[in-house]
Amino acid sequence: MQFGLVEMFQAMGPVAKAVSFILIALSIVSLYMLIERSMAYGRAKNKSREIAPKLAEMLKNGQIKEALALASKKEYKGSHLARITAAGIAEFTEGKAAGISHEEQLQTAERGCDRAASVFNQELKKGLSVLATIATSAPFIGLFGTISGIINAFKGMALTGSGGIGAVAGGIAEALVTTAFGIGVAVIALWCYNYLNTKVEVYDAEMANTTSQVIDFFVRQGK
């Protein structure tokens, strides 16, 4: 038996082949999630960079309504900075219209920013649970192929009546390939998950900073 990838795949049993196809599909899903989430994070970053100086200038000039209208535009829906700013301004103006004290207005504005940050955080984490599941389950899926290969190795020994390397080589190769494949897919998924999760943590910090800046602006407005 030759031990090229094609030859080993052809020699695999149905269980090992099924496991291989599942692992290939999971690796594709992992790479797709990496690309899709990276693009979403990139859009949020670019939109926030675009709107940040405009909002800063409007708030500096006391143009609260104009800032709210800009931050609420559909084109900036993907910007975490715009979402947080819009939520804070909306809650502050509604509190002011309701006649509550300035301190209570600040509290409602902060809660509005926090709610918006929480919602956006969940949007950023969309699909990360899938990567985590793949990272933890891929080695066990590969284990099915391992077990199948060992069974085939024993079958080879039973058919030939010999325990020589020729009788068990195919089954052992099948077991090792599926094991390595499962570990490889898990590593890819784990790397993707950690990379994307680090990005989410950065955006969480930026949203917290934006919340602080919005509240500080309203504090200065009340003095």
Burial class of residue 153 (count of CB atoms within 10 Å of its CB; 0-12, 13-18, 19+): buried
Evaluate whether 103 touches 219 at the Cβ level (below 8 Å). no
Q: DSSP readout, the chain?
A: ---SHHHHHHHS-HHHHHHHHHHHHHHHHHHHHHHHHHHHHHHHHHHHHHHHHHHHHHHHTT-HHHHHHHHTSGGGTT-HHHHHHHHHHHHHHHHHHTT--HHHHHHHHHHHHHHHHHHHHHHHTTTHHHHHHHHHHHHHHHHHHHHHHHHHHHHHHHHHT--SHHHHHHHHHHHHHHHHHHHHHHHHHHHHHHHHHHHHHHHHHHHHHHHHHHHHHHHHHT-
Whole-number pLDDT of residue 1: 46
User: Over 70: is that where the pLDDT of 79 sits?
Assistant: yes
Of the listed ranges 9-18, 60-69, 154-163, the least confidently predicted one is 154-163
User: Over 80: is that where the pLDDT of 14 sits?
Assistant: no
Whole-number pLDDT of residue 172: 67
- 99 vs 205, which has greater pLDDT? 205
Task: Please tell me the number of Cα atoms within 13 Å of 142 on its side-chain side.
Answer: 24
Of the listed ranges 180-184, 195-199, 219-223, the least confidently predicted one is 219-223
pTM above 0.85, yes or no: no
Q: Mean pLDDT throughout 104-110?
A: 90
User: Over 90: is that where the pLDDT of 21 sits?
Assistant: no
- 91-to-41, 73, 215 alpha-carbon distances in Å: 26, 17, 11
Q: Terminal CA-to-CA distance of the chain, rounded, Å?
A: 84
Read off the tokens for 130: 């899938």
- 123-to-70, 74, 126, 162, 204 alpha-carbon distances in Å: 21, 16, 5, 59, 12
Q: Mean pLDDT throughout 188-193?
A: 94
Whole-number pLDDT of residue 167: 47
